[in-house]
Amino acid sequence: MSLDVGRVRRAFARAAGAYDALALLQHRVEAQLLERLDLVQQAPARILDVGSGPGRASAAMRKRFPQAEVIALDLALPMLREARARAGWWKPFRRVCGDARALPIADQSIDLLFSNLCLQWCEDLEQVFDEFRRVLRPGGWLLFTSFGPDTLTELRQSWAAVDGGPHVNVFLDLHDVGDRLLGAGFRDPMLDVEHYQLRYSEPKRLMRELRDIGAGNADRARARGLTGKRKLAAMLAAYETFRGDDGRIPASYEVVFAQAIAPDLSQPRRRGSTDIASVSVDSLRAQLRARRR
């Protein structure tokens, strides 16, 4: 799948005002990821929240680690405007508009990188993990969640009964995410999966909610324009086969939880069967000076 990043940015920008009230699943997953901060044994001095949205997690981490500098980073500027109210006036957390693929953050300056349900919107996960490694200090913590391939499986199957086009985003599974973490050189990765199910009175309510929180289809190959009435009716009829005994239709979500430790600079990255060594410029200069003596 090739993601339209511009569409992702515009969708979340439009959704910023309503996101907090509607993104109930995202808030639940965020709370569970925040609980995993218990794993971090030493209080971080600087925290980066990638894909911060309206800043709920940033504010929670600012409260939990009052001495830390917290940076909320999001691709959509209106989300950061919404986060302003949570930042407070006394030692507020910083808000930065930026892309996870090219973080506007100094090398090795972050002790904890936190990201909740953002990475599924990043097209090149290898590039993102390389950036995470670059900004994290060796030994720093990475904690994140991302949607897995069973997410919205009912909606995906219902559209598949109608045509072969991409109507639902494609998500990486736990093993692919783990492989990319290892490829970026991260240490001690631990991944697990949680499953959730939301229930609705009708499929249109689910689709409207996805649109209103900015989580619509962002595949570049998606059909442009309005969906025809006949095709939409056929999809809705296919979705009806999932209706339960309670009279409601399900929407399933698979969430990958992951944690890892940032490696030393000397730890190589892996691309296919090739190791790519990382060497700091400062260490090279020191070696040259030593040879000249």
293, part of any domain: no
279, part of any domain: no
Cβ atoms of 138 and 263 within 8 Å: the answer is yes
271, part of any domain: no
Comparing CA positions, the residue from 71, 63, 58, 77 lying closest to residue 17 is 77
Q: In this structure, what are the phi and psi dihedrals at residue 72, rounded to the nearest 5 degrees?
A: -95, 120
CATH of the domain at 147: 3.40.50.150
Cα dihedral 192, 15, 46, 185 sign: positive
pLDDT of residue 170: 87
pLDDT of residue 71: 97
Cβ atoms of 186 and 261 within 8 Å: the answer is yes
pLDDT of residue 159: 95
Which parts of the chain register pLDDT below 50? 273-282, 284
pLDDT of residue 284: 43
282, part of any domain: no
Instruction: Give the burial class of 102: count Cβ atoms within 10 A of its Cβ; 0-12 exposed, 13-18 middle, 19 or more buried.
Output: exposed
Domains held by the chain: number: 1
277, part of any domain: no
235, part of any domain: yes
pLDDT of residue 277: 45
The residue segments making up the domain with residue 90 are 5-262
